[in-house]
Copies of this chain bind each other. A is one copy, B any other.
Amino acid sequence: MKTTRLEAFSDGVIAIIITIMVLEMKAPHGESIEALMPIFPVFLNYVLSFIYIGIYWNNHHHLFHTTEKVSGAILWANLHLLFWLSLFPFATAWMGENHFASVPTAAYGVVLLMAAIAYWVLQRTIITSEGRGSVLKLALGSDWKGKTSPLLYGIGIAASFWSHWLAQGVYVLVALLWLVPDRRIERTIQQREN
């Protein structure tokens, strides 16, 4: 299977997740501004999840930028990542409906953590498949973001039982870390081409 096929399919799934998630925000029952107020924190949370899915979409492309052939292992590692991404709307809705209670806030962190692990597994699978002199491995370098994020998610999950604000803060922090697109890969490719 060619990489373009896998990318098109992943794009389709991610487009559905990112859109449906926002569509799931239910219209409030009243018609006043007060009726909108309670969904405001929920709205902010949808913005955060939207940004997270956007980050994954962005980095997903960088990941497959150097890959040419898709093995069965890469295919399933990719489906595994898409599975966890497709749980974002579920986790976002559950947390929103329960006004950011401890367990749902922790569950949101667990989904973030699992997606990060799935992304890491996908990365390793591609590097293994590329073999020695893997461009992706070179490009990633120390991959400090990839290593720090799971740790931060873990802190966020633990913090959610103490203060949901702190947990949310950690989740926002990791998103900000990643918002800077992964230039390492682009840079390495450009260097190689020179």
Contact = CB atoms under 8 A, between A and B. Distances in A.
Contacts of A89: 23
A118 to B, nearest CB: 13
A185 to B, nearest CB: 11
Contact of A19 (B16, B179, B180): B16
Interface in A33-56: 33, 35-36, 47, 50, 54
A22 B83 contact: yes
5 contacts: A5-B7, A5-B11, A20-B23, A23-B90, A25-B90
A94 B11 contact: no
B19 A86 contact: yes
Q: At the interface, is chain A mostly helix, strand, loop or mixed?
A: helix
Contact of A75 (B27, B58, B87, B103): B58
A47 B54 CA distance: 24
Contacts of A20: 16, 19-20, 23
Give me the 3 closest cross-chain CB pairs, A-B, nearest first. A12-B15, A27-B94, A31-B98
B16 A9 contact: no
Given A15-B16, A27-B93, 6 more contacts: A19-B82, A27-B90, A29-B97, A31-B101, A33-B103, A50-B79
